[in-house]
Structure 1
């Protein structure tokens, strides 16, 4: 046993490598670790740069200077200028009708003038919310003490629409017009319709250029209808003035393009408009307040711009890329509807569309919400490979109140990414509350998805149920 030890040593010594040979082997063994370390460090540097850019984009777009980016307002134009300049710096090609910009009409017709006034029992009501002048209203004032269910000449009439036989009329608009004409012929100084049951959106859709009537005519919402329908009311003190003014409101889509001379195109979109100071009465706080819209949807725009930057620098060349910053999202998705009807690329060549809307409040407990998974049979497989270490809530439907819907209706596979909706349509949706690391996480999922689908054939489209739960705006 004692003799075996030196023998082993001799064997080991006999097979020991030359010092230079050992150094080469050691370097070879360390090389993967060095490369891996360099890659990790490069990735961290890229992430830091991306996070800085995300913060820069969101801080500017949600700043007081842009006044809530209401469609058609000066703040929207400032935002459009910023986004188009960022697209230019990235190296995208302009794809709008005027450089990067594509203008569209949101609304053309009439709206209540600033002189409109309606006081009920000395309480000032809000035009567009509590009441809407009907399109045939006269530009005129009226006042009086009105007894419920006692419509008399030379006074304001209250008309309960629920008591009218609507089958006598071809449409609801005709009902209101003819009932107003009848009241005017009977000596009414103004007419107020309550318990109509229509939505304010429907009433506003009637406000187009038309000849004015003889007396003021007003529609009131359900809350004011309850007041006027109160059986215990003795009388109402009413003072009003109605006037409509012509209005043409336009929005601006911002469109950039990466042309890889490929057969198919991927659309990546996000809306950049928001609520302004609540002028359209779609905010959840009463009064004139600034809605910053950091999560909704400066976060989506910021991510879209950074994805565009990365794709421009990438080797992914099997698709072209169309990047669209939509306006008019808060106005019935009018911007995405317009683009889908007036696309700068042939929609039959579009591979798929990805929509980023409110991705700045990622909560690990709730995860990323992804809708549209049922719009292509390929989505599930791709998402299983792209989403790592992050909780995901899937929904199959391609229908929802965001901008992907217009493309789904063109038989294009879509995905809709969003996160938590805290401070939705509230003034508190500010940049300081954004989860920037979470926004980067969503970005990486989208980029990995595009990467994994790069070599695939054009995705097949599948129709889905027209319902979306849990992730919609």
Structure 2
């Protein structure tokens, strides 16, 4: 009897020890990464280097080894674009005109045949400049949601995956240079530090900090492997999922899809603080971030015994997107799955604001064209040029309202 009691006590002790190894530090990680002291973590700056060093220390704290070209680091040097249509040139020479970014990589080696990549970009816009939607005086863009949120959830998953789901290895990556054109992930895809042919799938988290009251969560890349939709559905009892099959999008998962790796990108939507100094830590939904982390963990757990996932090519919606010369000056609600295009934000001194359009309005007609979704909205917009004017019909609080837009 005494032996049984001792065994039970020992098992309880081990269980407590395992619980002690996991600590939720999501809020703490966001607070550090989005602090003014890092000056917006722009690629190549001292602020980004401080962020990289912090992420390395977090991996060390978790007991996860480095997997870069220099322990945890993978540096890449590039010449910035001088016009938006050219490609960035990577170089081995550090010169006055070049910038050096740093990917941060850590690896759980379970001696498995395949590896799962879990990533998030940690760079942001510094004091603004190109990419900023802020029109005021020079100010730090802290990027709490974009993308301290994704890095914090990545680190949380790293803590949860220690010693469990051991049928795969796990490569955790904090990417540099995302805001300048997916540079860090693109560089890794061309210069992998593991066998990329043995990568089962890649999970990307970019802007997962603003889960709304209706719990809408966007997941892109659901068509890149035949098993994704079923697994996402099987573990979802908390979210209103908005799924997009395409593996191509404006974030780092695209770099992996383009080398035939199945991808999933998690995203809670744009907002009025996107690419502005007001994207601060106090505006994040930390309970929502914890729920997203648990959901992704459940998906990873389900896929643990699936072996290497089959890859499937998807339609590239960006190639079908019409080009347009004018804009309304609004931020679309990319999580809206109703009829029309819902406005999630209105820019200062732009056509939409001047016409009296507001956040929450749903555009249902633009000129002679009916707007049923984002693609039809873009097609309708593409026929207009600077100096044109047209009628726009929106639904506001369920009632139609017609205004005149001057481009």
CA–CA distance in 2 between the matches of 1:268 and 1:471? 23
Matched position secondary structure for 1:250: strand
User: Paired residue for 1:271?
Assistant: 121
CA–CA distance in 1 between the matches of 2:204 and 2:175? 10
Q: Say if 1:268 and 1:324, in contact at 8 Å, map to a contact too.
A: yes
Q: 1:205 to 1:334 in 2, by over 3 A?
A: closer
CA–CA distance in 1 between the matches of 2:192 and 2:39? 29
User: Paired residue for 1:292?
Assistant: 142
CA–CA distance in 2 between the matches of 1:354 and 1:441? 16
Compare relative contact order (CA 8 Å, sep 6+) and give the higher one, 1 or 2: 1
Q: Is the counterpart of residue 449 in structure 1 residue 273 in structure 2?
A: no
Matched position secondary structure for 1:104: strand
User: Paired residue for 2:99?
Assistant: 249
Shift of 1:386: 1.8
1:54-92 residue CA offsets vs partner (Å, 9 max, x unmatched): 110000100000000000010000000000110111111
Which has the higher Rg, Structure 1 or Structure 2?
Answer: 1
1:330-364 residue CA offsets vs partner (Å, 9 max, x unmatched): 01100000001111111110000000000000013
Task: Give the alignment's TM-score, normalised by structure 1.
Answer: 0.60
User: Paired residue for 2:73?
Assistant: 101
Gaps of 5+ in 2: 1-11, 322-333, 337-407
Task: Give the alignment's TM-score, normalised by structure 2.
Answer: 0.70
Gaps of 5+ in 1: 1-37, 112-199, 209-244
Name whichever structure is richer in helix by fraction: 1
How many matched pairs? 301
CA–CA distance in 1 between the matches of 2:23 and 2:65? 23
Q: 1:412 to 1:59 in 2, by over 3 A?
A: same
1:176-222 residue CA offsets vs partner (Å, 9 max, x unmatched): xxxxxxxxxxxxxxxxxxxxxxxx4247979x9xxxxxxxxxxxxxx
Shift of 1:108: 5.9
Shift of 1:302: 0.4
CA–CA distance in 2 between the matches of 1:303 and 1:203? 33
Superposed CA RMSD in Å reads 2.6
Q: Say if 2:204 and 2:264, in contact at 8 Å, map to a contact too.
A: yes
1:248-276 residue CA offsets vs partner (Å, 9 max, x unmatched): 10100000000000000000000000000
Matched position secondary structure for 1:59: helix
Shift of 1:456: 1.2
Q: Say if 2:108 and 2:169, in contact at 8 Å, map to a contact too.
A: yes
Q: Say if 2:114 and 2:307, in contact at 8 Å, map to a contact too.
A: no
User: Paired residue for 1:379?
Assistant: 228
1:15-64 residue CA offsets vs partner (Å, 9 max, x unmatched): xxxxxxxxxxxxxxxxxxxxxxx9xxx9xx88x941xx111000010000
Q: Say if 2:42 and 2:123, in contact at 8 Å, map to a contact too.
A: yes
Matched position secondary structure for 2:100: strand
